[in-house]
Amino acid sequence: MAGQRAVVTGAARGIGSRIAVELALAGAHVTVLDLHDPADTVAEITKLGGSAAGLRADITDREGIAAAIAEAAGPQQRLDTLVTCAAVYGDTVAIDDLPESEVDFVLGVNVKGTLWCIKSALPFLRGHDSRVVCIGSVAGKVGGVLAGPHYVASKGAVHAVVKWLAKTEARNGVLANAVAPGVVDTEMVRDKGYSENYNPLGRLARAEEIARVAAFLASPAASYMTGTVVDVNGGYAMG
């Protein structure tokens, strides 16, 4: 991916940070975009000999994210990869206790935020071989009781957007795929009380294990893949 330009949202920490590092190690210049301070991820990439810049932006702010992605596209106004990883989980699992404000928040970040990122990036992705990789979830494919219905709905929507994008943008050179992780050992889930025995492997995923799959989908090796949701869940859900 030498010479390519990539944007990774939600890349200040967690899965997004690991994806940014993987893309940088593959040779891409990575814009680390997050609502939180991206300095630590940028510093790690620089220490490893990679190229990165950090931008703070709220993906639910349509105008703000458009400006940030345009800045990331650089003087040539070109992007090769967009990875949408920024997401929130929500605190409520049972629908009986679900407040409307939390539904609006989770759907606003996970669905609308993803749409605004894609909308903003497409003008810079079209017309050459490029990639969109969205981080979904096994919950968006099979449901389950580990997450609330709003989170499940939001990740199912992300998968649907990827399929729509694959069909509508293939002739413009844009390939779109998603990764559907199982439970990953990140700050977002450590306090949720997940059992490490929830899947056949008997452990939570490491963030870098998800990142490597995302990096593959962003690479030339995935040149004939589009509209695919790749399961990375330790055997929790198959097929």
Domains, the chain, with CATH or none: 5-232 (3.40.50.720)
What does the H/E/C string look like for the chain? CCCCEEEEECCCCHHHHHHHHHHHHCCCEEEEEECCCCHHHHHHHHHCCCEEEEEECCCCCHHHHHHHHHHHCCCCCCCCEEEECCCCCCCCCCHHHCCHHHHHHHHHHHHHHHHHHHHHHHHHHCCCCEEEEEECCCHHHHCCCCCCHHHHHHHHHHHHHHHHHHHHHHHHCEEEEEEEECCECCHHHHCCCCCCCCCCCCCCECHHHHHHHHHHHHCHHHCCCCCCEEEECCCCCCC
Q: How far apart are CA 84 and CA 9, in angstroms?
A: 5
pLDDT digits (tens, 9 = 90+) for 150-181: 999 999 999 999 999 999 999 999 999 999 99
* 208 phi/psi in degrees, rounded to 5: -70, -25
Q: Does 151 qualify as catalytic in the annotation?
A: yes
Q: What is the mean pLDDT of residues 195-200?
A: 76
CA–CA separation, 217 vs 228, rounded Å? Answer: 10
- For residue 192, pLDDT over 80 is answered with no
- The CA distance from 131 to 121, in Å, is 11
Contacts of 115 (CB under 8 A, 6+ apart): 161
> Is residue 188 predicted with pLDDT exceeding 70?
no
* pLDDT above 80 (res 209): yes
pLDDT band at 143 (very low <50, low <70, confident <90, very high): confident
pTM above threshold 0.85: yes
